[in-house]
């Protein structure tokens, strides 16, 4: 191991504790060591808009290094969460090739733009029901674990969090989930989601 690499600092945040707020930004990049963090902002009438959720092994706050962060964004721990904190100088130590670091930042920006475009298209062209089902499909693809013929997602979202992520209402999310549960396509509770048949789930939007 390179002895010149910095000892990475970590910090633990409790559930619902803010990691940063719009008026309290830091000069750090964050990487989730364990836990989940929601990145969001407040919309009209203080409605929460969840832009994305980052989990173990994912980074956030990086785009502030190239002036691409949103000033009114905030980051809040969704559960007990431990994160690595790195300054820009430490990032340059870890990735001394500035061209490579720039490429990494551009890739992150590109990924966020693609995700944002997909969400905008979804809101314009898809019904709220399909948006919820599409969210479940992508959630399984990203974080699902195969258990026999079924797919398991641990640490499921609340209905309100899903609503905030899909630009729907809590009532719509509850209705769709209960409908799919009634068709024996999935089962769920506060801690997990189990998709019993992915083909049947996807057939719901065909």
Domain boundaries, the chain: 9-124, 127-203
Cα dist. 180→106, 140, 172, 187 in Å?
39, 15, 12, 8
Class of domain 9-124: mainly beta
CA distance 182 to 10: 44
Give the per-residue pLDDT at 3.
43
pLDDT, tens digit, 9 for 90 and up, residues 126-170: 799 999 999 999 999 989 999 999 999 999 999 999 998 898 999
Compute the average pLDDT of residues 163-188.
Answer: 95
User: What is the tens place of the pLDDT at every residue in 46-98?
Assistant: 677 888 899 998 888 876 665 555 567 899 999 999 999 888 777 667 665 55
- CA count, 13 A, side-chain hemisphere, 34: 6
- The answer to whether 91 touches 65, Cβ cutoff 8 Å, is yes
One fold for 9-124 and 127-203: yes
> Which helix (H) or strand (E) segment is 86 a member of?
strand 81-87
The answer, yes or no, to whether residue 108 has pLDDT greater than 90, is no
pLDDT exceeds cutoff 70 at 118? no
Contact between 3 and 61 under an 8 Å Cβ cutoff? The reply is no
Nearest CA to 95 among 54, 52, 65, 53?
65
Running DSSP on this structure, what letter comes out for residue 64? G
The fold for domain 127-203 equals: Jelly Rolls (2.60.120)
Provide the pLDDT for residue 5: 42
Q: How far apart are CA 197 and CA 111, in angstroms?
A: 29
C-alpha distances out from residue 157 to 82, 87, 119, 180, Å: 19, 31, 18, 16
Mean pLDDT over each residue of the chain, to the nearest integer: 82
User: How far apart, in whole angstroms, are the C-alpha atoms of residue 174 and residue 135?
Assistant: 14
- pLDDT above 70 covers a percentage of the chain that reads 72
């Amino acid at each position: 191991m390179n002895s010149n690499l910095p000892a990475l600092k970590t910090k633990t945040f409790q559930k619902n504790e803010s990691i940063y707020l719009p008026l309290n930004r830091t000069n750090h990049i964050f990487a989730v060591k364990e836990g989940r963090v929601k990145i969001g902002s407040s919309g009209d009438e203080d409605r929460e808009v969840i832009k994305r959720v980052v989990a173990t092994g994912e980074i956030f706050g990086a785009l502030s290094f190239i002036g691409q962060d949103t000033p009114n964004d905030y980051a809040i721990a969704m559960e007990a969460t431990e994160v690595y904190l790195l300054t820009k100088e430490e990032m340059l130590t870890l990735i001394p090739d500035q061209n490579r670091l720039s490429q990494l930042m551009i890739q992150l920006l590109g990924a966020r733009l693609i995700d944002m475009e997909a969400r905008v298209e979804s809101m314009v062209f898809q019904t709220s029901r399909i948006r919820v089902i599409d969210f479940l499909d992508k959630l399984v693809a990203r974080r699902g674990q195969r258990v026999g013929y079924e797919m398991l997602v641990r640490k499921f979202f609340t209905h309100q969090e899903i609503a905030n992520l899909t630009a729907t209402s809590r009532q719509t999310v509850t209705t769709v989930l209960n409908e799919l549960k009634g068709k024996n396509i999935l089962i769920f509770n506060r801690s997990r989601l189990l998709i019993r048949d992915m083909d049947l789930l996807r057939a719901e939007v065909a």
